[in-house]
Amino acid sequence: MNNIANENTQHIQFLGIGDMVTDAFIELKDAEVHCNINNSSCELCVKFGQKVPYESVVEIRAVGNSANAVCSASRLGLVSAIVTAVGDDRFGDEAIQTLQNENIVTDFVYKDIRYPTNYHYVLRYGPERTILIKHAPFFYTLPNENTTVDWVYFSSIGEHALAFHTEIANWLKMRPNTKLAFQPGTFQIKAGTELLKDIYQNTEIFFCNLQESQTILKTKETNIKELLKDIHNLGPKIVVITDGPNGLTASDGSNIYSLPMYPDPKPPIDRTGAGDATSSTITAMIANGMSLKDALLYGPVNSMSVVQYIGAREGLLTREKIEEYLKSAPENYKVTEI
């Protein structure tokens, strides 16, 4: 099966690759959270075998790690597109229209008549969420030689698409001027680094959080410098590891930078998409010609805004708005070398 799309000549600055979904945000009212002694490994608990009331439900179209990223990049001024798939149904049509409303090129959105559009249930309780997921085994189409691409942003995709990773790696090898940002999703982390070694070795900038880095490396190591070094050894030239309220740490192989989180103006409403906002914004600003050290400052600002809204898209900012926040940033919000 040919996975290369045929289209007219065009230039894409930021191309997302990954699954897209409709999220149904269900706000629970009768639930509890149980954690272990060090406040980790928490579980959301609801009554079993009974009717459980909820406060509200909100549907949000065209989301998912890569879809969130291309929306972020588009609002930051880049010509953006996405390689993804939807079903031949209402949710698919609405997702495509949502992307087009964000000025995102939809030429590489494949409509698959075999499966319904991915639909996830997001159980909200306080600012955190638990997501019930199911990824259809969709077919994907990559741009052909008529399309030039500056940056690819590759993230969460279903486990059926393991062979597609090799295809992407080969596609990148034929495009030496195209750079890859890789933010692995749940399946990609579970698949392990050996199966995805061609992706890691072709990665310009890599994103994950602290716990994910330990899982990827199969280690309990907590020293951030060691974690950065070990991720570098897999192939990525730049590594960014986030750590929630502790901010982020980044390495370009020569320098290691640390940055605190941008303070929330009020308690977060929903943390969905916070990591996507950080990583996509940093990538977009580098794609705009900014240095890593300067680009880092922009990511947490967009993340701060996103968590003030339900869903991963509504709070995404323009470059001008981010720079307004940077002008009024607290004195300690600065990149330091460690």
- Whether the CB-CB separation of 258 and 336 falls below 8 Å is answered with yes
Please give the radius of gyration of the chain, using alpha carbons only, rounded to the nearest integer: 19
Structure tokens at 117: 């559009």
180 falls within a domain: yes
Number of domains present in the structure of the chain: 1
The full DSSP string for 95-158 is HHHHHHHTTEE-TTEEEETTSPPPEEEEEEETTEEEEE---------EE-TTEEEEEEEE----
Q: Where does residue 41 rank: exposed (0-12), middle (13-18), buried (19+ CB within 10 A)?
A: exposed
What number of other Cβ atoms are within 10 A of residue 45's Cβ? Answer: 11
299 falls within a domain: yes
42 falls within a domain: no
CA 95 to chain centre: 17
For residue 312, the domain's CATH number is 3.40.1190.20
Reported as a pLDDT band with limits 50, 70 and 90, residue 3 is: low
Average pLDDT, the chain: 94
Q: Where does residue 327 rank: exposed (0-12), middle (13-18), buried (19+ CB within 10 A)?
A: exposed
Select the more confidently predicted residue: 312 or 74: 74
Per residue in 32-47, pLDDT tens?
A: 988 987 776 789 999 9
Q: What is the pTM of this model?
A: 0.91
| Host H or E run for residue 168 | helix 162-173
Give CA torsion, residues 193, 197, 199, 204, to 10 deg: 90
Q: Does residue 242 have a pLDDT over 50?
A: yes
Select the more confidently predicted residue: 214 or 41: 214
What would the mean pLDDT of 233-238 be, rounded to a whole number? 98
132 falls within a domain: no
314 falls within a domain: yes
Per residue in 306-336, pLDDT tens?
A: 999 988 899 999 999 999 999 999 999 999 9
> What region, left, alpha or beta, does residue 307 occupy, with left being phi > 0 and alpha being psi -120 to 50 degrees?
alpha
Per residue in 119-172, pLDDT tens?
A: 999 998 877 889 898 889 998 989 999 999 999 999 999 888 999 999 999 999
* Distances, alpha carbon 154 to alpha carbons 70, 139, 215, in Å: 11, 16, 19
Select the more confidently predicted residue: 270 or 229: 229
Per residue in 80-95, pLDDT tens?
A: 999 999 999 999 999 9
Q: What is the pLDDT of residue 337?
A: 96
Give CA torsion, residues 154, 156, 159, 163, to 10 deg: 0
127 falls within a domain: no
51 falls within a domain: no
Which range of residues forms the domain containing residue 163?
4-19+63-115+138-337
29 falls within a domain: no
Per residue in 181-196, pLDDT tens?
A: 999 999 999 999 999 9
